Amino acid sequence: MSRLLLVEDDRGLAAGLAAALRRDGSQVDVADCGREALRLARAASYDACILDLGLPDRDGVDVLREMRATAIGFPVLVLTARDALGERIRGLDAGADDYLVKPFELGELEARLRALLRRRASDATPWRQFGPLRFDAQAGAAFAGDDPVELTRREAAVLECLMRRPGRIVAKEAILAAAFPSDSEAAPNAVEVQVSRLRRKLEAAGVTVRALRGLGYRLEESGGHALE
């Protein structure tokens, strides 16, 4: 069963789409504004997102850019009335995986979603690697060469978040959402504490977590150059 995030401020359209997708066996969460979309995207693991661009609080392209900037990597199908070529290019450049213009046929939307989900499944692998560090996302286990790196559940969540964008900056908010799905669990310095503990444990693998003030964190190889 796929878990989908539907971002659409037209309540009638959102209700109809959600009902149709649920009949096909998907679990669907609905957001009617950009702020709620980002909150849900950070709090849960989705297989795909259907994103309207004409949201009441902010432009959907900006929402998409923020998703991509914070390592939210699920495929996004943009659904919008903006049919100009420049708008389509803008959406795709912001990180959209597909683009469907309103009005549309439900069958085409469902077919495009199936294609995105097939592509995601074929690309999926539990193993991620950065330099000598390997990480098994399914087991939450890390290895320095063949030697295991003992991690707590939260440390593994932080590392998985960083390994999705190896060598690139990951926002503090994305790490917070990964390690502390419920904000009430997190102390003000919770991310710093988890990153500090993880950094110490990764030393043996020749990898460090660099803090970039005001931007976030990045995996780097110790004693080497950061990957860009």
Check which CATH number belongs to the domain holding 116 and give it: 3.40.50.2300
Which residues 6+ apart lie within 8 Å of 177 measured at CB?
A: 42, 43
Domain closes at, from 92, 107, 123: 123
- DSSP state for residue 213 in the 8-state scheme: T
Residue 74 within a domain? yes
Residue 55 and residue 133 in one domain: no
Residues of the domain holding 55: 3-123
Residue where a domain terminates, one of 72, 103, 123: 123
What pTM, to 2 d.p., does this model score?
0.59
| Confidence check: pLDDT of 228 > 50 | no
Phi and psi at residue 116, to the nearest 5°: -65, -40
Residue 62 shares a structural domain with residue 136: no
* Residue 149, pLDDT score: 92
**How many folded domains does the chain comprise?**
2
Radius of gyration of the chain (CA): 19
- Token output for 90: 């803008």
Mean pLDDT for the chain? 86
Question: Which whole number is the average pLDDT over 220-228?
Answer: 57
Ramachandran region of residue 140, left (φ > 0), alpha (ψ -120 to 50) or beta?
left
